[in-house]
Structure 1
Amino acid sequence: MAKIQSKPFGVTKAGENVTEYILSNPGGLSVSVLDYGCIIKNIIVPAKSGPLDVVLGHDTMADYEADTGTYCGAFVGRYANRIEGAAFTLGGKKYELEANNGPNHLHGCFSRKIYTVKSFGDTLLMEAESPDGEDGFPGNMKIAVRYTLTDDNAFRMDYRVSSDADTLVNLTNHSYFNLDGGGNVLGQKLRIYASRYLEGNEQTCPTGRILPVEGTPMDFRAGKPIGRDLKPGFTQTEIVGGGYDHCYVIDRARGASQSICAWATSEKTGVSMKVYTTQPGVQLYTGNFLQDCAVPGKGGAQYEKYSGFALETQHYPCSPSHPEFPSTVLRAGKVFRATTTLRFFTGKQCGRL
């Protein structure tokens, strides 16, 4: 069974102590988590050339606080991704939100909270509260995030939230992966189990059109190098900075509690990762603006464009503007649950993408 250790990580600007928790299994996989933002700081995979960290991040608490744009490794909400116009109407009342991404609301404040942590064998339970009105949302919300590491190299993320008033919720983890352990990710192979995607506008908000991927650079169904089809002339990739920042509609397996939504692999290191989720969508973001991060990465490295890719399992962005999308309304007294699992393989264990 996996074991859990802990150690001090730093102190926030507000004087709060931050702890790092390290989950490790007998096979050599380990995951480091902070109680600040439920941040996944490291995922160390036993690759053929030795232990390999496959997620981006920072070395100090000061750097995590100073990095206000990338959400590296963080648990995000109340509403992951965007709410168009930083406002929504619910129950006949309009709610104004923080406009922190141009005119839109992006992600919210869950990534900046300190969580209370309990450990149970191979599992961390991280809890916090979001008061009524925080970020402009109604309802006092109780938050529970559970991280579990198994002996067969699966890392499971379970989210559970409830509210005492009708509200909106959309949750995800914002880790950036690089299965090479460095450099850019354009040569790493990715398969996305989705035949449709949400067309975006120049503010990276859905237009409402759900389009087929077939015959376009958006098609990852058969697996391909991430950068293979990033060529000038395709509007959808050009308007988001010359990469991908789009929500894919997952092709769900009938009756499955979790469906596979993505499979990534590095031929250089032999590391592969499969992603499973209960959520309806997955946002592929290829780090198109990581070069704008003024905060150093691990080891003092300066992150560059395409240094990592994110696979944000979630409900669709801007759902309040599109009633035809799956609802993100959480009714008072009800519970929202979501699960995402990352499963890691090395060498021939995973087969060929």
Structure 2
Amino acid sequence: MEHRYLGHSGLRISEVTYGNWLTHGSQVENDVATQCVRAALDAGITSFDTADVYANTVAESVLGEALKGERRESLEIFTKVYWATGPKGPNDSGLSRKHVMESINASLQRLGTDYVDLYQAHRYDTRTPLEETMQAFADVVRQGKALYIGVSEWTAEQITAGAAMAKELGFQLISSQPQYSMLWRVIEDEVVPASREAGVSQIVWSPIAQGVLTGKYLPGQPLPAGSRATDEKGGASTISRFLADETLEAVQQLRPVAESVNLTMSQLAVAWVLQNDNVASAIVGASRPEQVHENVGAVGVRLPDEVMTAIDEALDGVVERDPGLTARNAPQDRPT
């Protein structure tokens, strides 16, 4: 495993982060989830990403239990706040001071730790003044409950404003967690340049496009049984945008490209996002331990220029690049 610095901080995280968005507490049983975490640790992964909303708080509990007994100082644990959890009352979502302060305490209890290394705003809250949110994060850091602060799916303008305010308040905003893959490149034109200027790195989710970039989904063929595309608990809705036959046909053109550099298609996808020097880590999930070991095979790989060109040529016409999608996909009101 190799590690990269996160933003302008001194924190180093593993190039592959293990995430449990659609798996722990939802898609897989707890014993399998624990096996996947053990596989991540065995592979040298030290960074683990979760959120209070995943499986309505259960994912945090499962991850905390799976990491029990590990040396805390050897891990980087990330979680998030924004979406509604629990009974979903009027203050059970958003980035108000009340919700942030209550949520960090609940997350720490579920994770079984005194602090998280990175606490992230899961979305931007248009209903709460940015000053209120950032002051709450500053207090969370000063109380020692989080070491660093990050955001997820914020626009370039929001990242710039948030980083500037964090600096004024005496703490660091060091990370952005956006969707990023060969097929979804909307952060490249605006978010990445703004992040570089602000001293923020990307920790990207869905680098394999919900599994589409593994090549297992074939154009004109039934969806594989037991795959994320058949999961009605959330997986099917998130992957649907990538299942058009035109996209699946283009993805199949990547198979010989991957073979030319002795990588599997999923390894090629993870290696591709890690080529971006503003990306500190790629988040991968797993429903089986062997998936973890496969994805870690992308660590340290540098793709030649001709391979990067071949990827662009194969996917020409099916790549989403519109930077406006970050804002358009964001909630405009608090969830209830």
Smaller-chain TM-score bracket = under 0.3
TM-score, normalization by structure 1: 0.25
Between Structure 1 and Structure 2, which shows a larger proportion of helix residues?
Answer: 2
Between Structure 1 and Structure 2, which shows a larger proportion of strand residues?
Answer: 1
Q: Which has the higher contact order (CA 8 A, sep 6+)?
A: 2
TM-score, normalization by structure 2: 0.26
